[in-house]
Chain A
């Protein structure tokens, strides 16, 4: 079983200093520029750490993102910021996007929420919401056909990725827990696939669909037809028996480290989980990752997990 790559499964936690700065901002005692400067400084540190740990792809951290939808809710025409809503089975909440009219870009979005100057030239990974998940977790008050909304979201994301031009990521991870939180109808799958293809065609790098929080076996086998380079699996939420008997053409990223618990797995723990999942899958190659974003942990614990991921990658023969 070959482990080809190692990278973090999502966005990173803010430090207590950055949290405090955001609180001051909310209370009108801090400027956004000062908060952004602090976030930039932290991003530099996080990138440096990941590079020193030998991560195949580094994540930017996305410290400016309050939640995965917020940059789009704030800047897309046709979207309003809605009520606080539970983010899957976590004690974490996002603000539900409300689609009030057909969506369109009036400005570029990602460049305002990413420190592109820090990742340009790096083998970096960007985490974005998959369009079907975006649609499912929004409140649609405008589109008569849900398919049109999903495809419009995909179009926006594709355009945004194109506009990153020379700062484009080497890997785009579409976080897609709604793929596997239930079994979508077959006609839904075709729209989901078309949306995915739109995004795939907008980037030169690789694409990954990450099925975190939810049972990936719900998305098997239909997801295998998607032109994704990598499928991400959360083994802490997946019935591994349900993955047996299928052939995975691309790579599978296994979230061997539980990003929602502070228990720092030993290298042996990681190897055990890796082998358990890999035995069920029989994919051509594997990536080692965390089960989901690390923002569920305090920053100090997240960094311990990052180091352990790197150690486990070496122990599993990764370079």
Chain B
């Protein structure tokens, strides 16, 4: 594998024709992106949009195709369809689970909320949209594909529990009851929901799976549970696994994360870094956490985010290069560094996303050149 391979995390802003209202502007944008990204037969889509003759399912397929082409146009080594067929990472996953009821919106911060579900009986798979989603991407992608899935610990942590706490009965202390209930919930979601999906994807030819666990450090005393559930989830399944954890205190992952049977760990760093180029410590303060991975001799590769997805600032290739070189220096091994975003680019306009990804690719090339031809 070449040094500093490039990949994305998953989500992209919705394609222009997936908006609630398809007006002239949306059609014009569809035409623009079809042309710029070289989407095959995009004129067919335009014609359908103009005539108003299209099915929702058909538009989602087109959106997947557009998103694949965007990532490919940027030159990424590993791509995905920008999660164009999903609602968002939690609700989309839980809508396919039986034994669950959505109760309404809860606050995340200020006016930001999400629709939170309660688990009311043992969870079971109702639907598996991921296989058809993957097969479409696999058929059309010109690069290797990585499928992101929300991990069991995050699904549990972001859900209410009305089943396991009731089942726990009245033996033991309240803390102990809650702990055992949570453990059973996480393992059920791992083994009854996420693992079968992973298995079905691998059977259909998926080689790369990304398990998204942004909640992994929410409860520091449950990091071990997250790791154990992950290991059970992937046990005996032959694929390359990435764990993605963003906007977290990564020091809380230690030492348990070292036991994770993952090939890669993707973390967010650019968001906490300076935008000054250079490989000096003071310029690269967002990457200091990598020392921990070196000190603990972590065996997996690290994908430190070198693109901040929360700003329209376009990272110059030199900044991407320096972030990668600094990461390699801290980890003591450039072959352990993957060039990646902090997280999905869902909140960025496609113009911004494409420019950022292009510079990610170019910065990785420059870093590679710097290591290989010093």
Residues on A lying within 8 angstroms of B by beta carbon are: 13-14, 16, 19, 22-23, 25-26, 66-67, 84, 86, 89-95, 235-241, 261-263, 272-273, 276, 295-301
Q: With A237-B175, A298-B103 in contact, do A272 and B109 touch (Cβ < 8 Å)?
A: no
Complex contact A14–B107 (CB within 8 A): yes
With beta carbons under 8 angstroms apart, the residue of B104, B105, B108, B165 that contacts A263 is: B165
Render B147-174 as a binary contact track against A, CB cut-off 8 A, 1 for contact: 0000000000110111001100010011
**Inter-chain contacts of B205 with A (CB < 8 A):** none
**Inter-chain contacts of B162 with A (CB < 8 A):** 261-263
Q: Which residue of B lies closest to A23 (CB)?
A: B111
Complex contact A66–B110 (CB within 8 A): yes
Interchain residue pairs A-B with the least CB separation, the first 10 = A298-B104, A22-B111, A262-B160, A93-B109, A263-B162, A89-B219, A66-B110, A262-B118, A23-B111, A298-B103
Known: A91-B108, A236-B175, A261-B161. 20 other contacts (CB 8 A): A19-B107, A19-B111, A25-B111, A66-B111, A67-B109, A86-B218, A89-B219, A90-B218, A91-B215, A92-B109, A93-B108, A93-B109, A94-B109, A95-B110, A235-B174, A237-B175, A262-B118, A263-B165, A295-B106, A297-B103
Tell whether B178 is near chain A: CB-to-CB under 8 Å: yes
**What is the CA–CA distance of A273 and B173 in the complex, to the nearest angstrom?**
10
Complex contact B110–A26 (CB within 8 A): yes
Q: Which residue of B lies closest to A18 (CB)?
A: B111
A131 to nearest B CB, angstroms? 23
**Inter-chain contacts of A299 with B (CB < 8 A):** 104
Residues on B lying within 8 angstroms of A by beta carbon are: 103-111, 113, 116, 118, 157-158, 160-162, 165-166, 170, 173-175, 178, 215, 218-220
With beta carbons under 8 angstroms apart, the residue of B103, B108, B166, B178 that contacts A301 is: B103
**Inter-chain contacts of A90 with B (CB < 8 A):** 218
**What is the CA–CA distance of A66 and B113 in the complex, to the nearest angstrom?**
12
Complex contact B111–A261 (CB within 8 A): no
Complex contact A236–B103 (CB within 8 A): no
Q: With A86-B218, A89-B220 in contact, do A301 and B109 touch (Cβ < 8 Å)?
A: no
**What is the CA–CA distance of A296 and B116 in the complex, to the nearest angstrom?**
10
Q: With A263-B162, A298-B116 in contact, do A240 and B109 touch (Cβ < 8 Å)?
A: no
Q: With A239-B175, A261-B161, A262-B103 in contact, do A66 and B220 touch (Cβ < 8 Å)?
A: no
Complex contact A301–B104 (CB within 8 A): yes
**What is the CA–CA distance of A273 and B158 in the complex, to the nearest angstrom?**
25
**Inter-chain contacts of B105 with A (CB < 8 A):** 16, 19, 298
Q: Which residue of B lies closest to A234 (CB)?
A: B174
Q: Which residue of B lies closest to A87 (CB)?
A: B109
**What is the CA–CA distance of A295 and B157 in the complex, to the nearest angstrom?**
16
Complex contact A92–B166 (CB within 8 A): no
B160 to nearest A CB, angstroms? 4
**What is the CA–CA distance of A237 and B174 in the complex, to the nearest angstrom?**
8
Q: Which residue of A lies closest to B103 (CB)?
A: A298
Q: With A91-B218, A235-B174 in contact, do A261 and B165 touch (Cβ < 8 Å)?
A: yes
**Inter-chain contacts of A94 with B (CB < 8 A):** 109
Q: Which residue of B lies closest to A27 (CB)?
A: B111
Q: With A236-B174, A273-B174 in contact, do A13 and B106 touch (Cβ < 8 Å)?
A: yes
